[in-house]
Each structure stands twice: as C-alpha cells, then as structure tokens.
Amino acid sequence: MSPNPAARSHLPEPVLTATNVSIEYEVEPPVKAVRDVSITLHRGEILGLAGESGCGKTTLAYGLNRLLKAPALMTSGEVVFHDRDGHDIDVVGLSAEGLRAFRWDKISMVFQGAMNSLNPVISIKAQLFDVLTTHRPGMGKKAKLARAQELLELVGVDPKRLTSFPHELSGGMRQRVMIAMALALDPQVMIMDEPTTALDVVVQRGIIKEIMRLRERLGFAVVFITHDLPLLIEISDRIAVMLQGEIVEEGTAEEVYRTPKHEYTKKLLSSFPSLRGERGDFVRTGVQAQAPEEIAS
Ligand SMILES: Nc1ncnc2c1ncn2[C@@H]1O[C@H](COP(=O)(O)OP(=O)(O)OP(=O)(O)O)[C@@H](O)[C@H]1O
C-alpha cells in the first residue's frame, strides 16, 4: 500500500505548531533531550508520539505545554497555539499569569501517575470545583455541580462518586477522574503521556475507548505518548517517531505501519511481533479507530 496524498491534503487546520524546538537539561554534561523538532497537531486529530525510553517524548510534551522545570531549558524554537477564536498564542512568550490562564483551559495534560496527584483527603467534588473556581470565577455553585456531574458521566464514573475521596476509588477510576479534570475547561488539546500504563490491561482498554469516544464527541486534539506501538497504530491519525531527541519519521498511522521509511521505525515495528501476521494485521480505516475491545482481541 502506498501513502495517500489526497488524505493528507484534507488535514484539518493546525491547533498547535512547534517549530525547531530544542530542549536541554543543563546538567554536567548537558543532555540535548529534544533536537530541532518541528511538529504540527491538527484540530481534532490524535498524534501518536513513538520511540523508546529516553528518546525525549516526555520532555517534548512538557515543552509544548511550558511545563519544563530546571534543569530543563528550551534553548530554541517556537510553540504557537492556534485558538478556535482565530487568535494565535505564543506559548513560549506567555507571562506567568498568561500561562496560568492558558494551561488546563487551552491545553491539558494527563500523565501516567496523574491519578496519584489527586489530594487523598479532599473529595472529588471539591477538587473538580477547585479547577472550575480558579478558571471560571463567575460560575455559580449550581452550575459547577452540574458540570462536575456531567464530567464524571463523560468519563464513565457514577456522579454519586463526587462525594468520594480518592482513596475510596480504584486506580482506573482515579485516572478517569483525572481525565474528567483535564476535560473540565473544554480544552482544544490534550497531551496524554502514558495515561493508562500503570493500569491493568482491561482497565487500560476501557479508558482508551472512552478517550476515543470523547475525542469524537468533543473534538479535542490529542498528543498521545506510549511505549505501546500497536496501540498507537490503532488509535492515532498520524504518528511521529522519535529517536535520540529528533523526529525521524512522520506520517499517517497507516503509512508508518505499511511503508516505514526510516530504519529505526522498521526496527521498532519488528520488535512487536503482534503487529505482523494475520492476527495483528492493520485494521484501521480513515480517522475512525477500531473499537478497543477488538484491538485487545
Ligand atoms: N531531570 C533530568 N536531568 C537530566 N537529564 C534528564 C532529566 N530528565 C530527563 N533527562 C534525560 O533526557 C532524555 C529524554 O528523557 P525523556 O524522559 O523526555 O524521554 P522519554 O522518551 O519520555 O522516556 P520515557 O518513555 O522513559 O519516559 C533522556 O536522556 C533522559 O535521561
């Protein structure tokens, strides 16, 4: 199968553009974790970031959302968020106040250990209210309650759980609550860094399925990072492959799977035997991902 140029020309407009981004850890000797990376995330798409441990995926994701902390430093590059109202936001140039308003509202992030960042002694309701109070100061109590209930429903958690404390919920439920929190302000981009890796396979698949449904329904774009290349191929619209801080290959999931160009991509694909042969044959069609239960089978 050859890449379909027609499909590419129909990509939606960009929502996030990173240009020539380089990030270093200023340690001795310095670590060049991200090297001159340019990447475009289109509205509503799932962009999978693949590559082995230590290649710079998390560092890049943090850079996109200005979450880098010393000793990490973005040494060059531009990150521009293209808001749905037509304005461009220079993410690198945002002030501290601008950044507080930007994060969670425009781009939110769910990471592997996110479920453990819920405060164990504060109810789910209070923690959801906190996000809404901070970012939507004009919102009344009734509206906040309705939104909190709606958010839990969206991620498949019974709204009765609002009064629960995190320790009363399973790991999967807590991660769903974190996804609800990330959705609270209707972000246009979600960065998901190994969002389900700490969970068992059945729970993982359930949550991935939910993310896919939500993306269809709410239209946010996702940068999805995982070591699970078969999963990435199934759920992503496009995939970027990282090697030692650089993006060495980029294409639709189908192109990357069917006609990988870079030797490293070929090596990466061959390290997942499940991707070869009848059982693991490519099943994705268009932008509609296969149902996760089918992926798991
Ligand atoms: N605080 C730090 N100080 C120095 N070097 C770091 C620091 N954090 C990460 N690095 C280095 O930066 C490089 C990129 O790391 P990063 O965590 O972004 O990779 P990754 O692809 O996300 O890996 P993983 O999948 O294991 O999370 C690695 O060489 C790592 O050792």
pLDDT tens-digit map of 28-82? 999 999 999 999 999 999 999 999 999 999 999 999 999 999 999 999 999 999 9
Nearest to 117 by CA among 171, 77, 153, 75: 171
Q: What single DSSP character describes residue 291?
A: P
Distance CA 59, CA 65 (A): 10
Distance CA 100, CA 134 (A): 10
Atom 26 in ligand 1: residue holding the nearest Cα: 53
Instruction: Report whether residue 37 contacts ligand 1, using a CB cutoff of 6 Å.
Output: no
The predicted pLDDT at position 59 comes to 96
Atom 8 in ligand 1: residue holding the nearest Cα: 25
Instruction: Report whether residue 58 contacts ligand 1, using a CB cutoff of 6 Å.
Output: yes
| pLDDT tens sequence across 255-270 | 999 999 999 999 998 8
The predicted pLDDT at position 291 comes to 37
Sequence ranges of the domains in the chain: 5-94+189-296, 115-186
| Contacts for 180 with CB less than 8 Å, ≥ 6 apart | 128, 151, 152, 154, 155, 157
| pLDDT tens sequence across 14-40 | 999 999 999 999 999 999 999 999 999
Instruction: Report whether residue 55 contacts ligand 1, using a CB cutoff of 6 Å.
Output: yes
**Is 60 exceeded by the pLDDT of residue 7?**
no
Domain over 5-94+189-296 is classified CATH 3.40.50.1370: no
Ligand 1 pocket test target in 22, 24, 34, 59 with most atoms within 8 Å of CB: 59
Instruction: Report whether residue 241 contacts ligand 1, using a CB cutoff of 6 Å.
Output: no
Kindly state the average pLDDT of the residues 234-244: 94
Kindly state the average pLDDT of the residues 236-243: 95
Instruction: Report whether residue 54 contacts ligand 1, using a CB cutoff of 6 Å.
Output: yes
**Is 80 exceeded by the pLDDT of residue 286?**
no
Distance CA 237, CA 24 (A): 29
Instruction: Report whether residue 112 contacts ligand 1, using a CB cutoff of 6 Å.
Output: no
Instruction: Report whether residue 56 contacts ligand 1, using a CB cutoff of 6 Å.
Output: yes
Atom 16 in ligand 1: residue holding the nearest Cα: 56
Kindly state the average pLDDT of the residues 157-182: 92
Instruction: Report whether residue 226 contacts ligand 1, using a CB cutoff of 6 Å.
Output: no
- Which tokens go with 106? 């425009």
| pLDDT tens sequence across 102-138 | 999 999 999 877 777 888 889 999 999 999 999 999 9
The predicted pLDDT at position 84 comes to 93
Instruction: Report whether residue 188 contacts ligand 1, using a CB cutoff of 6 Å.
Output: no
Kindly state the average pLDDT of the residues 221-250: 93
Ligand 1: distance of its center to the CA of 59 in Å? 6
> How many Cα atoms occupy the beta-carbon half-sphere of 231 within 13 Å?
23
Nearest atom within ligand 1 for CA of residue 34: 14
Nearest to 98 by CA among 87, 110, 113, 114: 87
The answer to whether 225 and 52 are in contact (CB under 8 A) is: no
Distance CA 156, CA 63 (A): 31
Ligand 1: distance of its center to the CA of 260 in Å? 25
Distance CA 50, CA 232 (A): 8
The answer to whether 181 and 158 are in contact (CB under 8 A) is: no
Instruction: Report whether residue 27 contacts ligand 1, using a CB cutoff of 6 Å.
Output: yes
Kindly state the average pLDDT of the residues 158-179: 93
